[in-house]
A and B are shown apart, each in its own frame.
Chain A
């Protein structure tokens, strides 16, 4: 009897592992984009995503609904709550400079400044902006993912945008407002 139950458990684990491995193979790219946007660092993004996937794998058979949304929720929360800084200030080496987009109509200098400013934001502020502008979530949805109030989301977004504006500087901000809608 004991032997049979062990066999069933092993069978379930193997099936879950196959399912999970297939999920990771299909969704790694999308999940890694989020992890990289949250950390701005190749190794930190790998660590963040690896831990999130491990946590999801433990509960894989019990996750209700979209597995990708579940992993993303862990990514955002881990990034904010147990972020591991490597040194007093994070290194800001970029593995590959972002490729310019030909048709975005955004000033290249402004885009690079914004990327630089995003990397300098505290984790929670950056998480709010990534949720808003990468995942296109509403303020209420952002609050649900981060497990905080909409007021906190609003204040974090406001502080983040203030920092971005300061980083951009008045000259580029003026050019920005002159861009036709």
Chain B
């Protein structure tokens, strides 16, 4: 490398480091520490019972809230932006294929927003991330490393303890009965970084299973469901097949030859013939049986949902586009202004 490139790179790395806004994290870190201590005491073995803590009668919002824009008091349980008002927005924002905008996040304060189908509105939550269940009635929420389940009908949160791992953004199983995430709280001073655990949480029985196959996954390690009974993570080396594990036992069930990384969510077509992947910075569609590249999706693709076997909804920064299997945009649905301005991480859910 030339001296001039090295010098420019040094300046650029320092510029990037200076672009953030430092915040006081001491209180949050200490609160998180207390949560971890509880987990350490409770977690024993690979199959552990979860302690579910209902928030002492506290609800994030009052049940049966009236329709229309309103502002409620923020929950003291959250840390994303504890003092921010919990603004609501009218909904739903609908798309072809019975898809509706399910969740997104305020880019400025980091609060998640989810669609409450019972109330017909979008609710801002005092939590950093929220992932709606397939039925849209429960949201897995994440805050200060905690995993909780928010029942949208009542506004109550049950926090899950007893899992010795930092939850990544978990993924719901297709039938909505379980959540899988990857992570680990093992001693960070160990000579070798420990591989992350895959943890499957059964929502109904309040149990979590840390899968015995501690798999070392690649950059952007994230667990996802391949089917209703199988989970996987992208491999370290993308040229090797992806290993699939049984969610019940952790045993290897099969491998998948894929052109690229799945990323955070398995995005297969309804008939299973195609899958959307990230490869060399592009989002592509692979024909799974022919093992061929079908098309490349728009460069600013954020996420993909299938309408039918040949049509996709592609989430882009300013809205949602309908795209065919040749990668052509056939219809554009701009986000409403209140969604587009300062909002990121949009996801869809079935109506």
A contact residues vs B (CB 8 Å cutoff) = 17, 20-21, 24-25, 28-29, 32-37, 40, 42-43, 45-47, 49-55, 57-59, 70, 73-74, 77-78, 80-89, 91, 93-99, 101, 104-107, 110-111, 114-115, 118-120, 122-125, 129-130, 133-134, 146-147, 161, 164, 173, 176-177, 179, 181
Given A82-B182, A93-B107, A98 and B15 contact (CB-CB distance below 8 Å):
yes
B110 interface residue (CB < 8 Å to A): yes
Given A50-B29, A74-B188, A91-B107, A85 and B8 contact (CB-CB distance below 8 Å):
no
- Give the segment of B19-27, B69-77, B153-161, B246-254 that binds chain A: B19-27
Q: How far is the CA of A128 from the CA of B189 in the complex (A)?
A: 18
B3 in contact with A181 (CB, 8 Å): yes
Q: How far is the CA of A141 from the CA of B281 in the complex (A)?
A: 29
Q: Quick one: which of B184, B263, B265 contacts A81, CB cutoff 8 A? A: B184
Contacts of A24 in B (CB 8 A): 24-26, 29
Interface size on B, residues (CB 8 A): 80
Q: How far is the CA of A181 from the CA of B1 in the complex (A)?
A: 13
A82 in contact with B184 (CB, 8 Å): yes
Q: How far is the CA of A178 from the CA of B10 in the complex (A)?
A: 18
A57 in contact with B169 (CB, 8 Å): no
Contacts of A98 in B (CB 8 A): 15-16, 18-19
Q: Tell me the chain B residues, 251-309 only, with Cβ under 8 Å from chain A.
A: 263-265, 267, 276, 278, 281, 283, 301-304
Interface of A is mostly: helix
Given A43-B128, A85-B263, A130-B13, A57 and B29 contact (CB-CB distance below 8 Å):
yes
B175 interface residue (CB < 8 Å to A): no
B302 in contact with A147 (CB, 8 Å): no
B1 in contact with A161 (CB, 8 Å): yes
Q: How far is the CA of A107 from the CA of B13 in the complex (A)?
A: 14
Interface string of B22-43 (1 = CB under 8 A from A): 1111101110110111000000
A32 in contact with B22 (CB, 8 Å): yes
Q: Quick one: which of A28, A78, A97, A125 contacts B25, CB cutoff 8 A? A: A28
A110 in contact with B17 (CB, 8 Å): no
5 contacts between A and B (CB under 8 A): A83-B221, A85-B263, A93-B107, A106-B12, A147-B190
Closest to A93 in B: B107
B183 interface residue (CB < 8 Å to A): yes
Given A50-B32, A98-B16, A98-B19, A80 and B193 contact (CB-CB distance below 8 Å):
yes
B30 in contact with A88 (CB, 8 Å): no
Interface string of B313-348 (1 = CB under 8 A from A): 001010000000000000000000000000011110
Contacts of A47 in B (CB 8 A): 128
Contacts of A54 in B (CB 8 A): 29-30, 32-33, 35-36, 145
Contacts of A177 in B (CB 8 A): 2, 4
B144 in contact with A28 (CB, 8 Å): no
Closest to B31 in A: A54
Given A57-B30, A78-B188, A80-B193, A87 and B302 contact (CB-CB distance below 8 Å):
yes
Contacts of B192 in A (CB 8 A): 147
Contacts of A58 in B (CB 8 A): 33, 36-37
Q: How far is the CA of A84 from the CA of B41 in the complex (A)?
A: 25
A45 in contact with B20 (CB, 8 Å): yes
